[in-house]
Amino acid sequence: MREPGDRREALLDPAAALFPRQGGAATTGRQVADEVGILS
């Protein structure tokens, strides 16, 4: 089973890369999920 911290790290790394490029307000959860490969 995956630890909660693992998922958090998997989301924070791509978010940290997207925020400087387009700004935190313009970055959506969907964009971060797409970077991670999470399917809805």
What is the predicted pLDDT for the residue at 21? 93
What is the predicted pLDDT for the residue at 9? 86
What is the predicted pLDDT for the residue at 38? 85
What is the predicted pLDDT for the residue at 7? 82
- pLDDT tens string, the chain, 40 residues long: the values are 567 678 888 889 999 999 999 999 999 999 999 998 987 6
- Say what the pTM is: 0.69
What is the predicted pLDDT for the residue at 10? 86
Domain ranges of the chain: 4-36
CB 16 within 8 A of CB 29: no
Q: Which residues, in sequence order, are CB contacts of 40 under 8 Å at separation 6+?
A: 30, 33
> 3-class SS at 40?
coil
